[in-house]
Structure 1
């Protein structure tokens, strides 16, 4: 704590500008595992799209940065895991097909699916000038919930969707699925809270140890409250879903044809959610956040070690849940909503 206090004091008297990271992570696995919400369950209730370190499995404990042999992320020191629910197209005949994801055009071409990951400090355009404490080993959290209703997205401005004209489209951001076909696909955005209680690496609901002061995504947050006094990086995911394949099959009545893998059958995306498990090696992330680099300028040892797209794409996690997730399916993998509600009730009873 003394070292942390000294760092805070140093930050208060210097004019340093601290880093903001933006980088790509390819797909490391797509399977029904969730070591945060459903640790040990093989399979978990619904399908997840996962990027990051190849140590990903049903039960993950300890310092994830010291586990695994490779990562699908641009920065070779990042063995964290980042995951979201998977998007499916629901045909009018009742069958489903998984929607593939594509790389952001601000990132190197050829990344195997994946997501764009951000660790920002102030907003999208500036690094910020205050000391930011990075996540400790063993830290994990979630944002959103498959059981939340429309009020969840209204309260949390960091859960948003963008109807893409091209991969460069960023606005407007909306709080539910687009109501029309999107020429360039659909982008989902998950911004996590950035204020930590300073004590707990997790909490029973995987969210209470964090607090959100962001007015919206990629905007400067208000001061952290006394209950959660430690400012951490603003973590965010952007996932670009290649929905153009299904434009000609859009229902004639205009209803939304997309559903997430947790099984909402009402055509809404209120249950959108994401999980995070910290796994940077050593103090690599802290060194980066203390530097003055911005986005791609942080690569190639300035200060983070980076790897090629080919190296990223060569990494994968072991598949422990054997089931068909490709082609046209008669049902979503698992029994998503029923299993999730049943397991949540069991957790409350225990």
Structure 2
């Protein structure tokens, strides 16, 4: 069963569970990265960012409170001033020129400009009960999944839950690959980022923004794998879905001999450098209440806003770069 059909069915028959699914409009597209390249203008490569409008080049942990500094959010729930970001996808033509690939809103979120769909869940998406307890992230929490320097399959195996889907239509959710699709995708390419779900319980960050979190020691979050003893605190799984509208670039001539014409903004044409960043910024205990609230997709304890208001939330361009024809530093 396709995910969109499952979601519709579960909304009717299993309202008692703890899973949030919501859309976020694009906040900005700039070469900024306050996690890996704090203070750099421009950072090493281009990112597409969603969430609270306090996002900028420098967001020091302990002094930059996303909730108090933000005046709006591009996400559906007004309590979520977190920031989430990924690299940007480009099409490389045979003459060597580049074209930024637009992002596509998912069904039910039409009108959202750019952006992503965000999930927070306490159990696998297909587990309708969502019985497990999870501990919401704490103020100041931040993390990074993936590695922008990876260029081969063996390296990418470290991040077994960073994938792509070659979409036939809006409902396609399988199969998944860890490298770029090597055939034209009639419905676009979905990039999936599943963050680690186990925390050491002490550190809100680490020097590489990864060591304080971990995947389950066996299996996956979806299979109910246990957290390692070094990281015993079970977190909600964050899943980001970005649909890149590649339909205008599906000339079969670009997909010959296992090649494909797409490249991440960090210069990667393999897809193995898939990565995403997260800075927690939920207001008060709103995320914990949502995860404890036995709701599915919609959350009556949270305050939704219109897509028009989501689209209106922006941050100014401080890099002043032609992002439609330039993809790397």
Determine if the alignment matches structure 1 residue 119 to structure 2 residue 117. no
Alignment partner of 2:224 out of 221, 225, 229: 221
Matches within 5 A, 1:84-95: 84-95=86-97
Distance 1:82 1:216, change over 3 A: farther
Aligned counterparts of 1:29 and 1:219: Cα–Cα separation in 2: 32
In the alignment, which residue of structure 1 is the partner of 2:68? 66
Which residue is 2:278 aligned to? Answer: 276
TM-score scaled by structure 2? Answer: 0.90
Counterpart Cα distance in 1 of 2:41 and 2:83: 18
**Is contact 1:144-1:152 (8 Å) kept?**
no
Q: Residue in 1 aligned with 2:313?
A: 315
Q: What is the alpha-carbon distance in structure 2 between the residues aligned to residue 252 and residue 51 of structure 1? A: 31
Render the CA deviation track for 1:102-131: whole Å, top value 9, x for unaligned.
1121x3221111101010111103252232
CA distance in 1, matches of 2:219, 2:278: 19
1:84 aligns to what SS in structure 2? strand
The answer as to whether partners of 2:184 and 2:255 remain within 8 angstroms in 1 is no
Shift of 1:98: 0.5
Match of 1:135 in 2: 137
TM-superposed deviation, 1:219: 1.2
CA distance in 2, matches of 1:252, 1:154: 24
Does 2:205 correspond to 1:206? no
Q: Is the 8 A contact 2:26 2:114 kept in 1?
A: yes
| C-alpha contact 1:214 1:220 (8 A) present in aligned 2 | no
- Structure 1 match to 2:43: 44
SS at match of 2:266: coil
2:157 corresponds to which residue?
154
CA displacement at 1:157 relative to structure 2: 2.0
Cα 1:67–1:216, aligned 2, differ >3 Å: closer, same or farther? farther
Aligned partner of 1:346 in structure 2 is none
Question: Residues 73, 216 of structure 1: CA spacing in aligned structure 2 closer, same or farther, 3 A cutoff?
Answer: farther
Residue equivalent to 2:6:
none
Counterparts of 1:218 and 1:95 in 2: how far apart (Å)? Answer: 41
CA shift for structure 1 position 18: 5.0
Q: Secondary structure at the match of 2:240?
A: strand
- 2: CA distance, partners of 1:110 / 1:215: 40
Q: Distance in 1 between matches of 2:202 and 2:302?
A: 28
Distance 2:87 2:327 in 1: 12
Task: Map 1:214-293 onto structure 2 (within 5 A).
Answer: 219-248=222-251, 250-251=253-254, 253-254=256-257, 255-264=259-268, 267-293=269-295
How far apart, CA to CA, are the structure 1 residues paired with 2:159 and 2:209?
A: 16
Q: Secondary structure at the match of 2:291?
A: helix
1:231 Cα shift?
0.5
Asked if structure 2 preserves the Cα contact closer than 8 Å seen for 1:91 and 1:249, the reply is no
Q: Distance in 1 between matches of 2:255 and 2:240?
A: 32
Q: Which residue of 2 aligns with 1:340?
A: none
Deviations 1:178-231 (A, max 9, x none): 111100100000100010001111111110000101877771331111111100
Greater helix fraction, Structure 1 or Structure 2: 1
Q: CA offsets, 1:133-169, max 9 Å, x none?
A: 1000111001000112322332322110000011110
- The change in CA–CA distance for 1:230 and 1:320 in structure 2 (over 3 A counts) is same
Measure the CA separation in 2 of the matches of 1:214 and 1:192: 14
Q: How many residues align structurally?
A: 308
Structure 1 alignment gaps of length 5 or more: 1-16, 335-350
In the other structure, the counterpart of 1:76 is 78
Partner of 2:175: 172
| Gap change, CA 1:325 and 1:168, over 3 Å in 2 | same
Distance 1:214 1:153, change over 3 A: farther
CA 1:250–1:332 in structure 2 vs 1: closer, same or farther (change >3 Å)? farther
